[in-house]
């Protein structure tokens, strides 16, 4: 409505399903009404920038910093780009060799971060369900089905990383 403003108070994600869809809608509103839509960032939103540093690091060759030029040179809780000590590459090697082992470790770390440091233990499962809905072309009111639509844990990790990447909706939301 003309003359009205929308102020969204932050913490757009992690407490229910359809996070990707919701953030995309907020970003779309901001694009269409740049002077009337105001997005205030909450700690839940800002914490997403941790993913490339704390999860993405694992998926790159061991001891190589993540290639994320759109981010700052580092975060204060990871000195010199090294991952936190509570997850080590040795644990990843126990999960299997090479890329499969690193992905298993990335899945574990992301689940741990969401549960223990962000207080949202259901978010990983809810994102997986949302990705399945999107992959199956199901509408907003579609009931969850038994088929996972080919969405595995690796797809969930990759989607969290994609969302804060250069073309990701979460990154665009954070920049507005």
Q: What's the CA gap between 159 and 171, in Å, rounded?
A: 12
Q: What's the CA gap between 44 and 66, in Å, rounded?
A: 22
**Number of Cβ atoms within 10 Å of the Cβ of 114:** 22
For 101-162, the DSSP string reads HHHHHHHHHHHHIIIIITS-TTHHHHHHHHHHHHHTT--TTPPP-S--TT--HHHHHHHHHH
For 21-39, what is the mean pLDDT? 95
With 70 as the cut, is the pLDDT of residue 37 above it? yes
pTM of the model: 0.77
Q: What's the CA gap between 71 and 113, in Å, rounded?
A: 19
Q: What's the CA gap between 98 and 84, in Å, rounded?
A: 20
- The helix (H) or strand (E) run that includes residue 37 is strand 37-39
Mind listing the pLDDT tens digit for each residue in 137-172?
865 544 444 455 679 999 999 999 999 988 899 999
């Amino acid at each position: 409505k003309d003359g009205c403003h929308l102020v969204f108070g932050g913490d757009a994600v992690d407490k229910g399903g359809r996070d990707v869809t919701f953030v995309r809608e907020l970003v779309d509103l901001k694009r269409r009404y740049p002077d009337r839509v105001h997005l205030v960032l909450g700690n839940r939103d800002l914490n997403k920038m941790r993913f490339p540093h704390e999860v993405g690091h694992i998926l790159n060759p061991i001891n190589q910093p993540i290639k994320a030029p759109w981010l700052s040179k580092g975060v204060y809780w990871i000195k010199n780009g090294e991952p936190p000590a509570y997850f080590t590459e040795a644990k990843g090697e126990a999960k299997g060799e090479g890329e499969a082992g690193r992905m298993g470790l990335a899945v574990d770390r992301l689940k741990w971060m969401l549960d223990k440091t962000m207080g949202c233990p259901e978010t990983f499962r809810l994102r997986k369900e949302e990705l399945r809905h999107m992959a199956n072309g199901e509408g907003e009111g579609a009931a969850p089905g038994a088929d996972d639509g080919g969405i595995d844990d690796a797809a969930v990790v990759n989607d969290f990383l994609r969302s804060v990447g250069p073309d990701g909706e979460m990154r665009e939301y954070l920049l507005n």
